[in-house]
Structure 1
Amino acid sequence: MDIKSFQEMLKKLFLALFVVAAVACSANPRVKLDEGAGALRPNAKQELIAKDLVSLLEKAHYKKVPFNDSLSSVVFDLYLKGLDQGKNYFLQSDIDSFQPYRAVLLNDLKNGDLSSMFQIYNVYRKRFNEQLTYAIAQVDAAYDFTKDESFVYNREDLPWFKTESEAQANWKQRIKYDLLNLKLSSTGKEGEDAKNRKTIKERYQNLLSQVKTENNYDAFQIMMNAFTGSIDPHTNYFTPEDAQRFNENMARSFEGIGAQLTTDNEVVKIMRIVPGGPAFRDKTLKQDDRIIAVAQGNGEFVDVIGWRLGNVVSKIKGPKGTTVRLKVIPAGQELTSTPKIVSLVRDKIVDEEESAKKEIKEVKDSDGKTYKIGVIKVPGFYLNFKEMQAGNPDYKSTTRDVRRILDTLKQDHVDGVIMDLRANGGGSLIEAVELTGLFIKSGPVVQVRDPNNRVEVNSDDDEGISWEGPLGVMIDRFSASASEIFAAAIQDYGRGVIIGNQSYGKGTVQSAVSMDNFISRADMLLLSARDKSNGASADDGMPQGAPKFGQINFTTFKFYRINGSSTQHKGVTPDVEFPTVFPADKFGESSEKAALPWDQIKSSTFTPYADLSKIKPELIAKHNERMKTSTEYKYLLDDIATFKERENETSVSLQEAKLKKEREEQEARNRERMNVRRKIRGLPEIQSNSPLPRLDNDFIEDESLNVMADFIALQGKA
């Protein structure tokens, strides 16, 4: 499907299903919000977004869910889980006080009333501050590491704390575990205990400082995702700031200095320098440098210590060609040190680290013949939608990157190609279709059904083909959505062999739509009048270019393989399958309570590329024969067995001798495995007094290369 067809399909859907109506704010009495220090309150814009978001999803979401008291109860539970999944902060008395909101939350959202949800959020912040403040005060207490007791680190299925003293007792156990953990990794030198306690204090203080910088949009994000998550797991609301971040990630490009940032104790520090960007070319900024002030061009510096990360990022990013100056404390120096001034001209950044890339590997088949295999790692199905619409001839996309890579692999005379889609969570539906088109001449790729049960077939209409040779596709449990569309099409056409684990099972399509498109004119005028009367900024300090009312990514279509089967829940089953540590009921669409069901429609009309039914049994037989003597395969089965034994564990020992013994036994097992692997590679053994080095080991890729060698050989014989 081309972009114009996709846009037309969306337009028809919204015209048929959605008409925004101006709805008056709730006439019901609102919950009285806390007025204490640090309490957050909703603004008029958020109330408006909530109201219109409910209206949109009630009318246009693929899944027709009754918006009733039962759904309200689901929203309530998801909201509490989103705030305190581990049950570490709320008390049972808090939960009891929230119960009157259970049946009315959804109706409140329909009316733009966020008071009850903000009331719950403010209680959470209050408890969070109380518990962390208490924890920091307890770090210097004496702890007996000889007592046989344990710390329950997973409280999700346990009751809420009945009293504050019960919560504090749990926090003391957590502190004890954190200290014991550091103690076991210490060398025993004098002063290490004090250093460990300082580390724990700083860790907790960092958590506190992050909460202090939260604003009402952070709270609103969690509230809206509790609502959207009650409908289906892949519908999400993004605040303006998060919408910009999501879209930049999809485009794999942005305009700025080319540095990824994080926060550490109220100070922003550099986590990574993006290769090729202004910061990379300038070579002044380094990882872990801290930014304490920002200036635009020749303007005055603004101190940013204590600011929330998003606001600092917005100050540093900006249009290509503009200048930003930074006051920077180099890594390792005290904050009181004299900062250096770094001046950088912003530029367009293309993050190649997160783009498709290649490797060429050599492998021998069972007859000793050597083959060259091009392995293309595809981390996501990305597309710079904005630049494509603007007509930029060099816009960024997965298909364009892979096409260029295939051209170079042909020049390198590879014998086969493997597309590595492991851990690829998907992305653009358009890109899934376009990428498939690189390997088939033309034909249907995926079927898409809208909420009215109308089915459209998305096809590759370009008869050009970029790679006609042997093809393999690697998938795993975390290959989802667009990855599954591509792998399923390759499998249904018989175009290549699929290798790995059963995929995630996400068979739905989300449309990313600016909420600016769904705010009624009457409501916009009302909001503008409120802003003027309150002296508020219309933009609320949001990032430049971001949608003012945020963005909703919601499920609008369900996709099906060209053979008619949905990938929902079932995913794609590989031709040559490995056992996996990650069971579908815990890691996959089947683990999501609100997920849509599996179903099936009519098959498309398509002409298979080849019939691999005779080759596949031979591939599996050769693979199974290798696995009988494979040490790595044995380790994989051991890991699966260990995971099953431990999947229900929720606690850890706080007795030093016992935990130390467990760690030493695990260390011995890891060392034994490492030495076996090193011996296979002809490397010397690692002695017990030496730290374990990192050994690049990708058993699944290695065996996939063997499968490809067999595949090429068998195709040649056929």
Structure 2
Amino acid sequence: MIASAARLAKTRTPLRTALTLALAGCLSLPAWGAAWQDLKPTREQQLASLNVVELLRRYHYNKPPLDDSRSSKIYDSYLKLLDPNRSYFTAADIEQFDTYRLRFDELLQQADLQPGFDIYIRHLERLTERLNFAINQLENHFDSFDFDSEAVLQLDREEAPWAKNTAELDELWRLRLKDEILRLKLAGKDAKGIQELLLKRYKNQLKRLNQTRDEDIFQAYINAFAMTYDPHTQYLSPDNAENFDINMSLSLEGIGAVLQTDSDYVKVVRLVPAGPADKGKQLQPADRIVSVGQGDKGELTDVIGWRLDEVVKLIRGPKGSTVRLEIIPSANGANDLSTKVIQITRDAVKLEEQAAKKSILNLTDNGKPVKVGVIEIPAFYMDFKAYREGKSDYKSTTRDVKRLLKELQAEKIDGLVIDLRNNGGGSLQEANELTGLFIGQGPTVLVRNSDGRVDVLSDDRSKPMYQGPMAVLVNRLSASASEIFAGAMQDYHRALILGGQTFGKGTVQTVQPLNHGELKLTLAKFYRVSGKSTQHQGVIPDVSYPSIVDVKEIGESALPEALPYDSIRPAINVSKNPYAPYLQQLQDRHLLRAANDPDFVFTRDSLQLAQKLAKETTLTLNEKGRRAYKEAIEQQRLVLENARRKAKGEELLSKIDDEDPLEEVVADDSDDPHSKPEDDAFLVESGRILADYLTLQQRVAKH
């Protein structure tokens, strides 16, 4: 969804490959860690930092000044990056670092990177101390851990006071170790196995720490600076430049998942449509990866505390090979860290597998049959290579949808549902042309550049291809190009928008080569033809469904420094909304059905349980109490699942097994020849809302 925006931006932005800048005199501060004294910024890194400063000053969408206010943000961002749970640095360290809070602006403009290196080196020293402490505790005091006390672990230390001294850090780390041991005990591991696993984990982390390079420090420091502008502006080192996005999409000969760092874990952000993980239905957004194994029986390598790029290298592999992931499922809730192992066969995502698909949803409304056509669009794709080569039969979303529309119209459908759930975007050109199939000639999206200029993208089709009743189904993982299309359908009052609030990514990035690495920066924003931004807020449905993910955890609004929602002058005169007289009745009818629909009830109640658990701030380290807590959560999940099964006439469970019951609700079984659209509760409800609208409209017409 970002690559197409970058292509658009590159054609419109006259950036030079390298800026000719003179290096300013650099301040020199003593290194704090003798073991890492050789880690110094190189001349190439200094020049790259000046390039980054200048590119952000001249071309970032907001062009915020690099001043004391920005310096303070950089400082807080850097500390949060290095010590997000305040478990390494002491108050004395912070007092020493505080001298730089208002100086980073000047230092960066002078290409003086040494303070950033010094703070990182102190981080390396403190982390080494903590790892050695943990190893010593495990080797020499393992049997002394007491699980009968009433000790508790504070879960969120983001705003906790910094430890006064090493003794406070020691106590915190004893509690952390105790929690890790207890979690493994509850998972059924014996004492010897737990000790060996944790020792291996911490020794591996220590070994990797000692392999830190100056490039690791430079990338961390410059990213702490760049990402204070917005979450999609990022520096990529030469080694990581091939991974275009911060989330590092694994769509090429991998598992087809988009990942990002989440404290000590690597977290799944979304799945690439038609990728191996998407097809397997075992991996879900917000799942956290604990370890990675190769093949059916290869040893699982613990990856807690690893860098994102290192985890990506382990997960990637040749087509047809198998990777095993030990994950903490998002369905567990924030505080239940029990794991399960899943297996995925690596593959390349084929364009034809992302192609739009059609189906017929046969419903009954007041005793009358209703035939609803469904077109599922997993991504906004286009075979750019075939297009550039001038091939007349190149594959694209719009071409496929046109063919499917003709087939559905030949079957005399009563209405149409466009299914954009989990569609992360893709080609902007395709979003523009697909919109034209339903509105005919007119603006489709606005792009506002950093200089304030607004470009209007339009479709010149003389008339729409389909003019019948229509709904668009979206969810929190519908992003970018999906939001452009859904927003246009809503602004032109061409379709009812159903489902969940979309992701909210309404910015355009470009990748700019530097003398050393690359900078991805935000230089424009998307706006709907009504003038509303898709940024931060996304598209709000006309009729809302319960979300399968917590919108506070997934989405643009969950990212730090996300650019705000705003609006500009509209490109069209917004006409009277023909749906407005019916929306309240449609919502009421939906709520009446959803209150008794087992899948809707399960989805709503599961999310409420997860949100309730996420609010808990402490976790008991008493084994008896912890077991009771875990069993209580499992019982609540079991009650929810069995209520759903009972309502659907399915066999009840005696316990929650390794399968995530929510997968059945959200699974796309389009590749299963025995599946039917009627098995998808959310899709069926979308068809019923469309049927409700037709009925209400006909009643008004008769009177």
Instruction: State the TM bucket, normalised to the shorter chain.
Output: 0.7 to 0.9
Residues 370, 178 of structure 1: alpha-carbon distance in 2 compared, 3 angstrom cutoff:
farther
* Unaligned residue ranges in structure 2 (runs of 5+): 260-270, 278-293, 302-306, 326-345, 667-680
**Partner SS, residue 531 of structure 2:** coil
Root-mean-square deviation (CA), in Å?
Answer: 4.7
**Partner SS, residue 179 of structure 1:** helix
Which residue does 1:222 correspond to in 2? 220
Matched, 1:707 2:674: no
* Unaligned residue ranges in structure 1 (runs of 5+): 263-270, 277-284, 293-305, 318-323, 333-346, 520-548
Q: CA deviation at 1:693?
A: 7.1
Letter in 2 for 1:174: R
Q: CA deviation at 1:84?
A: 1.6
Which residue does 2:182 correspond to in 1? 180
Q: CA deviation at 1:604?
A: 1.6
Which residue does 2:545 correspond to in 1? 578
Cα distance in structure 2, aligned partners of 1:489 and 1:556: 22
Which residue does 1:60 correspond to in 2? 59
Which residue does 1:447 correspond to in 2? 446
**Partner SS, residue 122 of structure 1:** helix
**Partner SS, residue 231 of structure 1:** coil
Q: Percent identity?
A: 34
Cα distance in structure 2, aligned partners of 1:55 and 1:215: 25
Once structures 1 and 2 are overlaid, which stretch shifts more, 399-408 or 308-317?
A: 308-317
Output one character per residue of 1:244-299: Cα deviation in whole Å (capped at 9) or x when no partner. 22279999965x6999999xxxxxxxx999769xxxxxxxx94565899xxxxxxx
Letter in 1 for 2:169: A
**Residues 45-124 of structure 1 mapped to structure 2, 5 A cutoff:** 45-124=44-123
Matched, 1:603 2:570: yes
Output one character per residue of 1:651-676: Cα deviation in whole Å (capped at 9) or x when no partner. 21111222222222222222222221
Letter in 2 for 1:153: L
Residues 388, 652 of structure 1: alpha-carbon distance in 2 compared, 3 angstrom cutoff:
farther
Residues 569, 110 of structure 1: alpha-carbon distance in 2 compared, 3 angstrom cutoff:
same
Q: 1:623 aligns with which of 590, 598, 616?
A: 590
Letter in 2 for 1:74: K
Output one character per residue of 1:349-400: Cα deviation in whole Å (capped at 9) or x when no partner. 4446983554746352432445555555555556676776676777776556
Residues 47, 468 of structure 1: alpha-carbon distance in 2 compared, 3 angstrom cutoff:
farther
Question: TM-score, normalised to structure 2's length?
Answer: 0.75
Q: 1:169 aligns with which of 171, 190, 197?
A: 171
Output one character per residue of 1:437-492: Cα deviation in whole Å (capped at 9) or x when no partner. 34332211112222332222111224475655443222334544433222110101
Residues 51, 652 of structure 1: alpha-carbon distance in 2 compared, 3 angstrom cutoff:
same
Output one character per residue of 1:93-126: Cα deviation in whole Å (capped at 9) or x when no partner. 2222222322222332223332221222222223
CA contact (8 A) 1:250 1:383 kept: no
Residues 409, 155 of structure 1: alpha-carbon distance in 2 compared, 3 angstrom cutoff:
farther
Cα distance in structure 2, aligned partners of 1:566 and 1:199: 49
Letter in 1 for 2:540: T
Which residue does 2:677 correspond to in 1? none
Cα distance in structure 2, aligned partners of 1:688 and 1:11: 57
Residues 424, 348 of structure 1: alpha-carbon distance in 2 compared, 3 angstrom cutoff:
closer
CA contact (8 A) 1:290 1:329 kept: no
Cα distance in structure 1, aligned partners of 2:693 and 2:375: 18
Cα distance in structure 2, aligned partners of 1:576 and 1:224: 43
Which residue does 1:660 correspond to in 2? 627
Cα distance in structure 1, aligned partners of 2:295 and 2:5: 46
Which residue does 1:553 correspond to in 2? 520
Output one character per residue of 1:633-667: Cα deviation in whole Å (capped at 9) or x when no partner. 55555456556655543221111222222222222
Which residue does 1:239 correspond to in 2? 237
CA contact (8 A) 2:491 2:574 kept: no
Q: CA deviation at 1:68?
A: 0.9
CA contact (8 A) 1:42 1:118 kept: yes
Residues 388, 24 of structure 1: alpha-carbon distance in 2 compared, 3 angstrom cutoff:
farther
Residues 114, 563 of structure 1: alpha-carbon distance in 2 compared, 3 angstrom cutoff:
same
**Partner SS, residue 178 of structure 2:** helix
**Residues 314-325 of structure 1 mapped to structure 2, 5 A cutoff:** none
Which residue does 2:198 correspond to in 1? 200
Residues 375, 149 of structure 1: alpha-carbon distance in 2 compared, 3 angstrom cutoff:
farther
CA contact (8 A) 1:39 1:122 kept: no
Output one character per residue of 1:669-710: Cα deviation in whole Å (capped at 9) or x when no partner. 222222211112211222359877746124544533432343
CA contact (8 A) 1:252 1:383 kept: no
Q: CA deviation at 1:82?
A: 1.5
Aligned pairs, number? 626
Cα distance in structure 2, aligned partners of 1:150 and 1:716: 62
CA contact (8 A) 1:472 1:497 kept: yes
Cα distance in structure 2, aligned partners of 1:329 and 1:495: 45
**Residues 367-446 of structure 1 mapped to structure 2, 5 A cutoff:** 367-371=366-370, 373=372, 375=374, 378=377, 381=380, 399=398, 416-446=415-445
Which residue does 1:28 correspond to in 2? 26
**Partner SS, residue 445 of structure 1:** strand
CA contact (8 A) 1:514 1:551 kept: yes
Question: TM-score, normalised to structure 1's length?
Answer: 0.74
Matched, 1:697 2:665: yes
CA contact (8 A) 1:421 1:474 kept: yes
Q: CA deviation at 1:424?
A: 4.5
Q: CA deviation at 1:26?
A: 2.6
**Residues 187-336 of structure 1 mapped to structure 2, 5 A cutoff:** 192-212=190-210, 214-246=212-244, 254=252, 286=295, 289=298, 309=310
